[in-house]
């Protein structure tokens, strides 16, 4: 995979994720050219308003020379080396567009879908060559967050996976292969497991929304940016490592797991139940509308310190 001299990237769907990915390619791959295909009527003004806010000062002046808006799908993908899709999260849409793209794109082009949940093995149903498509799931917002979950279908070729990893590594990002297609992939599974417990504890009035956030930001938040849960608890076990940790703390771990299961069942912690209103109201009372640009600037500083 060559990221230079010029990677030609077709961005299919330029909403929240597509625009952030556009910024990411523009900044991290300084020679790439980007064709943007999106039928939204306000595309030009949407890009002009939002894209510069994702770009550092030096790139603001030049970005317009490196992107083109292409209303015709076949022209957008015809010469592309990478085709990255983040249109609507609908299986039918993705199945149709990949079959079309396959017909127009160069034979060696990489096909990436940013989907949060529709596996490549469903998206590729109408493709002739099902080895070409791979899910590359970004963590929002991708121009800030280094993770890309690379999720092949069983039919995806090893070469496609390898070239995908190489591109993102060259850009200094953190692509990680998820070996089996599963609901939510891995990052969201972890985040939503913690989120369920957080909702359950607030629903039971053990803590407030704000205090729960303070607990996370002052403990496992920063810890996990330095070392993930396995390395952390392996370290926590001292010389005996994770094995020793489980021997010493395993009883507490199991007691917490069992209590969670009981609480979640008893409190009816399922999406849409009564607890949800209370928590959403508390979040709004505490935070109103969150300033994401401040959040993102601070996140970048943290990532910088921990070596991303
Ligand atoms: N928002 C997130 O946090 C997040 C995170 C990771 C992945 N994703 C995935 O990214 C994809 C897009 O999500 P989003 O949040 O950016 O949504 P969005 O609604 O902001 O953007 C979708 C874009 O697709 C465009 N579109 C509609 N029809 C199209 C077509 N025929 N061809 C090309 N573009 C078309 C729309 O005009 C819109 O601009 C989804 O598959 C979603 O699962 C979202
Ligand atoms: C695609 O590449 C061909 C051959 O290099 C060139 O003639 C054509 O102008 C290119 N088309 C676009 C849309 O860039
Ligand atoms: C948040 O609270 C404000 C002030 O009470 C209210 O105007 C607004 O509609 C609420 N927003 C949401 C999303 O609940």
Tokens in use for 262? 């009981």
Mean per-residue pLDDT of the chain: 96
Strand 82-85 versus strand 110-113 pairing type: parallel
pLDDT tens, position by position, 133-187: 999 999 999 999 999 999 999 999 999 999 999 999 999 999 999 999 999 999 9
Q: Give, using CA atoms, the residue closest to atom 6 of ligand 2.
A: 79
Beta-bridge partner residues of 80: none
Q: Could you say which ligand is closest to the alpha carbon of residue 8?
A: 2
Binned at pLDDT 50, 70 and 90, residue 60 comes out as confident
Instruction: Identify the residue whose C-alpha is closest to ligand 2 atom 5.
Output: 79
pLDDT for position 57: 86
Atom of ligand 1 nearest to the CA of 73: 32
The answer to whether the beta carbons of residues 134 and 147 sit under 8 Å apart is: no
What would the pLDDT profile of 240-281 be if each residue is shown by its tens digit?
999 999 999 999 999 999 999 999 999 999 999 999 999 999
- Cα(299) to ligand 1 centroid in Å equals 23
What ligand 1 atom has the least distance to the C-alpha of 12? 33
Instruction: Report the C-alpha gap between 270 and 267 in whole angstroms.
Output: 9
Residue of the CA atom closest to atom 11 of ligand 2: 79
Tokens coding 243:
């094995």
* Residue 235 clears pLDDT 70, i.e. is over it: yes
Give this prediction's pTM.
0.95
pLDDT of 305 higher than 50: yes
**Residue 172 burial (CB < 10 Å; 0-12/13-18/19+)?**
exposed
* Distance from C-alpha of 257 to C-alpha of 250, rounded to nearest angstrom: 10
Q: Going from the N-terminus, what domains does the chain have, and what CATH number goes with each?
A: 8-177 (3.40.50.720), 188-306 (1.10.1040.10)
Nearest CA, atom 2, ligand 2: 79
Q: Is the dihedral of CA 286, 289, 294, 297 positive or negative?
A: positive
Q: Within 13 Å, how many C-alpha atoms sit on residue 95's CB side?
A: 8
Q: Which ligand is nearest to the CA of 87?
A: 1
Residue 61: pLDDT band by 50, 70, 90 thresholds? confident
In angstroms, what is the span from residue 75 Cα to ligand 2's centroid?
9
CA–CA distance, 142 with 20 (Å, rounded to integer): 6
Percent of the chain predicted with pLDDT > 90: 96
Among 176, 45, 163, 183, residue whose Cα is nearest residue 108:
163
pLDDT of 3 strictly over 70: no
Pocket of ligand 2 (CB under 6 A): 75, 78-79
| pLDDT level of residue 298 (50, 70, 90 thresholds) | very high
**Res 6: pLDDT:** 81
What mean pLDDT is predicted for residues 90-113?
98
Q: DSSP string of the chain?
A: ---TTT-EEEEE--SHHHHHHHHHHHHHSTT-EEEEE---TTHHHHHHHHHHHHS-HHHHTTHHHHEEE-SSHHHHHTT-SEEEE---S-HHHHHHHHHHHHHHS-TT-EEEE--SS--HHHHTTT-S-TTSEEEEEEPSSTTT--EEEEEE-TTS-HHHHHHHHHHHHHTT-EEEE-SS--TTTTHHHHHHHHHHHHHHHHHTTSS-HHHHHHHHHTTHHHHHHHS-HHHHHHHHTGGGHHHHHHHHHHHHHHHHHHHHHHHHHHHT-STTSTHHHHHHHHHHHHHSS--HHHHHHHHHHHHHHTT-
Both structure tokens of 213 = 């956030």
> Residue 45 above 90 pLDDT?
yes
The CA 40 to ligand 1 mean position distance, Å, reads 11
**Residue where the block lists tokens 């015809």:** 78
Our mutation pick for probing the ligand 2 site, out of 67, 79, 107, 108, counting the most ligand atoms within 8 A of Cβ, is: 79
Residue 23 pLDDT level (bands cut at 50, 70, 90)? very high
Among 70, 78, 83, 106, which is best to mutate for testing ligand 2, by the most ligand atoms less than 8 A from CB? 78
Residues with a CB atom less than 6 Å from ligand 1: 12-18, 37-40, 86-89, 114-116, 137-138, 140
Is it the case that residue 2 has pLDDT exceeding 90?
no
Average confidence (pLDDT) over 95-111: 98
pLDDT band of residue 107 (cuts 50, 70, 90) is very high
Q: Which atom of ligand 1 is nearest to the CA of 46?
A: 39
Average pLDDT over residues 269-297: 96
- Ligand 1 midpoint to CA 35 (Å): 16
* C-beta atoms surrounding 299 within 10 Å: 16
């Amino acid at each position: 995979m060559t990221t230079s001299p010029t990677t030609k990237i077709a961005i299919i769907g330029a909403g929240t994720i597509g625009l952030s990915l556009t910024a990411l390619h523009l900044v991290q791959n300084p020679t790439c050219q980007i064709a943007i295909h999106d039928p939204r009527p306000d595309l030009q003004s949407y890009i002009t308003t939002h894209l510069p806010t994702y770009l550092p000062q030096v790139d603001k002046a030049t970005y317009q020379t490196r992107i083109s808006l292409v209303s015709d799908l076949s022209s957008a993908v015809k010469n592309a080396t990478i085709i990255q899709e983040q249109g609507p999260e609908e299986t039918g849409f993705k199945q149709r567009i990949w079959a079309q793209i396959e017909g127009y794109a160069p034979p060696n082009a990489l096909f990436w879908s940013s989907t949060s949940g529709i596996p490549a093995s469903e998206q590729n149903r109408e493709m002739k060559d099902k080895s070409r498509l791979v899910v590359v799931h970004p963590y929002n917002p991708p121009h800030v967050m280094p993770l890309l979950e690379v999720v092949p279908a069983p039919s995806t070729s090893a070469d496609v996976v390898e070239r995908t990893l190489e591109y993102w590594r060259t850009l200094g990002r953190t692509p990680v292969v998820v070996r089996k297609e599963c609901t939510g992939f891995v990052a969201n599974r972890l985040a939503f497991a913690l989120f369920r417990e957080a909702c359950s504890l607030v629903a039971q009035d053990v803590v407030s929304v704000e205090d729960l956030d303070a607990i996370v930001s002052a403990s496992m938040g920063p810890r996990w940016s330095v070392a993930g849960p396995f390395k952390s608890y392996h370290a926590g076990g001292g010389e005996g490592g994770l094995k020793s940790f489980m021997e010493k703390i395993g009883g507490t771990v199991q007691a917490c797991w069992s209590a969670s299961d009981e609480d979640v069942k008893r409190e009816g912690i399922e999406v849409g139940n009564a607890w949800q209103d209370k928590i959403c109201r508390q979040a709004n009372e505490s935070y109103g509308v969150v300033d994401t640009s401040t959040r993102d600037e601070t996140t970048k500083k943290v990532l910088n310190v921990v070596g991303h």
